[in-house]
Amino acid sequence: MQAMKFPEKSPEHGKQVGIWIRVSTEDQAQGDSPAHHEARARHYAAAKGWEVKEVYDLAGVSGKSVIEHSEAKRMLADVRSGHITALIFSKLARLSRNARELMDFSDIFRDHNADLISLQENLDTGTPSGRLFFNMVSIMAAWEREEITDRVRASVSIRAKLHKPLGGQAPFGYVWKDKNLEPHPDEAPVRKLMYELFAEHRRKKAVARILNERGFRTRNGGKFSDTTVGRLIQDPTAKGVHRTNYTKNNLGGKAWAFKPEHEWILHEVPAIVSPELWDQCNSILEGAKGTRPRLGKRPVHLFAGIVFCACGQKMYVPTSTPKYVCAKCHNKIPVVDLEAIFLDELKGYLLSPERVAEYLEKAHATIGEKESLVATLGRELERVKSEADKVYRLYIEDKLSPDQFNERYQPLDQRKKQIEAEIPEAEANLSLLKIDGLSSEYIMEEARDLHASWPSMTTDERRRIVETLAKRITVGTDEIDISLCYLPTFREMTNRQHTLTDSSPPPA
């Protein structure tokens, strides 16, 4: 009887092998280096009398999926061509953490009479028991990874409820201190300025441009973009509400998505801006979604957009009548009557002793914020000067060529000039606040001045004051409720610049 033939195996001694190295960035940070894994595999090959033909380096590559990586493709090509007949790796999780890919690797190696050798698990698919155990351990490794993922997901919610850090950087404007978020002494004034600029100019690109022109930069030293500005404006941390456990990985499409709001964990943190300013800025953002507003165009009617009927519907002024009308229940009020009621309400609001006290308290806080902004600019200027001096010294010592010097020095010099131009303006604004805003007598005078000047103001000036002070006007059948917010100075409300467009020249 003819003997059954099996595929010939390469002789054990003199086998040509490859070494597979995949060490995560986190493991490398903990001292588990790729060099260590390579040395271990080389020692093993030498002890077996094998020749190392190739090293496949995937250091820092995620183990979730590796089969499409260029090094993995090179390794499989070498297996198919017979260039290597075995692959040595430190442990299964280093080869891949994907159970399907581990099975695919096993099939390809078996089809081409090559072996997989895992040093930690003592596996060699050159033996039947090794192949069986390889399959079992692969399945268990995948199961363990899924279990760890589930435990991590479950712990996120618990850690969030306990207000423990979940990893990652603090939001711009804040810093982790003793496991709590606190305003960053340099970034918080910039974050506050961002909201103030957006409330004034109503354009994310305009705010980003102004911040960059004034020499401010993101945490990593880059320029602000409209995307960054929009994201930071929408983040409620600035108004004192920090969200955790509100996003999740969305493997089916986008990198992440919002969780349902009932799963969010909210914690109170020190606020950088008032809730009123945060709400104002986010209302502007919401209004801008879907359509791009026409720049510079103002509503024809003074209270357009903030007048609501008691039924909840917005009220508008049709062309056929000089009245705000609710299209749903036909409630209406004449335009001139609503303006007179608003002005009377405004007078009582401005002259109220409680409002004066509130204004004084907030004025003091605003001055403190402006002082922090000036200090931040001063520190940034010193840092930029120091960097410029270092570059200059390297050039003097012939360690930089003229081209290298220009490439490194010019951006620093430009930024230094921007900050030097911004500091006097910031100091002037601070002086103006200190001079104008710290006496009840001055506030009373401001209120009387506003009330007396109202009839002579243009519609645009009146509308600007309404936008600044009024949050919502609700018209009922028997009463009108006017919701007003924090009062800035009369100078702030009437002397604001017009909205800047992206094509506007930089401010002088």
- In CATH, what number is assigned to the domain containing residue 284? 3.90.1750.20
- In this prediction the pTM is 0.41
Judged against a pLDDT cut of 90, whether residue 54 lies above it is answered with: yes
Residue 56 has what pLDDT?
A: 94
Residue 259 has what pLDDT?
A: 64
**Are residues 42 and 183 located together in one domain of the fold?**
no
Name the residue with higher pLDDT: 257 or 410: 410
**Are residues 316 and 448 located together in one domain of the fold?**
yes
- 227 by DSSP, 3-state: which? helix
Judged against a pLDDT cut of 80, whether residue 304 lies above it is answered with: yes
Full residue range of the structural domain in which residue 414 is found: 307-378+410-494
Residue 482 has what pLDDT?
A: 80
**Are residues 121 and 183 located together in one domain of the fold?**
no
Residue 388 belongs to some domain of the structure: no
Instruction: Report, as an integer, the average pLDDT of 13-37.
Output: 74
Give the other-Cβ count within 10 Å of 42's Cβ. 16
**Angstrom distances, CA of residue 429 to CA of 374, 416, 417, 437, 505:** 10, 20, 19, 12, 22
Least confident residue range of 164-168, 330-334, 373-377, 422-426: 164-168
Of the pLDDT bands very low, low, confident and very high (cuts 50, 70, 90), residue 490 is very low
- In CATH, what number is assigned to the domain containing residue 55? 3.40.50.1390
Torsion angle, alpha carbons of 428, 433, 439, 445, to 10: 90
**Are residues 118 and 178 located together in one domain of the fold?**
no
**Are residues 366 and 221 located together in one domain of the fold?**
no
Residue 391 belongs to some domain of the structure: no
Q: CA 127, CA 107: separation in Å to the nearest integer?
A: 14
Residue 136 belongs to some domain of the structure: yes
**Are residues 196 and 154 located together in one domain of the fold?**
no
Beginning with the edge strand found earlier in the chain, give each strand of the sheet holding 480-484 in spatial order.
307-309, 470-475, 480-484
Of the pLDDT bands very low, low, confident and very high (cuts 50, 70, 90), residue 294 is very low
Q: Percent of the chain beyond pLDDT 70?
A: 68
Residue 106 belongs to some domain of the structure: yes
Residue 145 has what pLDDT?
A: 56
Q: CA 203, CA 497: separation in Å to the nearest integer?
A: 13
Highest mean pLDDT among 81-90, 113-122, 402-411: 81-90
Residue 247 belongs to some domain of the structure: yes
Give the other-Cβ count within 10 Å of 50's Cβ. 22
The last residue of one of the domains, among 102, 132, 158, is 158
Residue 55 belongs to some domain of the structure: yes
The last residue of one of the domains, among 288, 321, 345, is 288
Residue 65 has what pLDDT?
A: 80
Least confident residue range of 278-282, 372-376, 430-434: 430-434
Strand segments (E) across 28-152: 51-57, 86-89, 115-118, 123-124
Per the DSSP assignment, residues forming a β-bridge with 181 are 176
Integer-rounded Cα radius of gyration of the chain: 34
Instruction: Report, as an integer, the average pLDDT of 329-355.
Output: 79
**Are residues 68 and 189 located together in one domain of the fold?**
no
Strand segments (E) across 306-374: 307-309, 315-316, 323-326, 332-334
Helix-helix angle 99-111:128-161, to 10 degrees: 160
Residue 107 has what pLDDT?
A: 78
pLDDT in tens, 203-261: 999 999 999 988 888 888 888 999 899 989 988 889 988 776 556 655 444 455 666 76
Instruction: Report, as an integer, the average pLDDT of 163-180.
Output: 73
Residue 355 belongs to some domain of the structure: yes
**Are residues 469 and 349 located together in one domain of the fold?**
yes
**Are residues 192 and 329 located together in one domain of the fold?**
no
Q: CA 213, CA 221: separation in Å to the nearest integer?
A: 14
Residue 293 has what pLDDT?
A: 43
The last residue of one of the domains, among 256, 288, 320, is 288
Tell me, rounded to whole angstroms, the distance of Cα 48 from its chain centroid. Answer: 53
**Are residues 38 and 85 located together in one domain of the fold?**
yes
Highest mean pLDDT among 187-196, 316-325, 425-434: 187-196
Residue 299 belongs to some domain of the structure: no
> 58 burial class (0-12, 13-18, 19+ CB within 10 angstroms)?
buried
Name the residue with higher pLDDT: 60 or 336: 336
**Are residues 320 and 450 located together in one domain of the fold?**
yes
Q: CA 386, CA 326: separation in Å to the nearest integer?
A: 63
**Are residues 312 and 261 located together in one domain of the fold?**
no
Q: How many domains is the chain built from?
A: 3
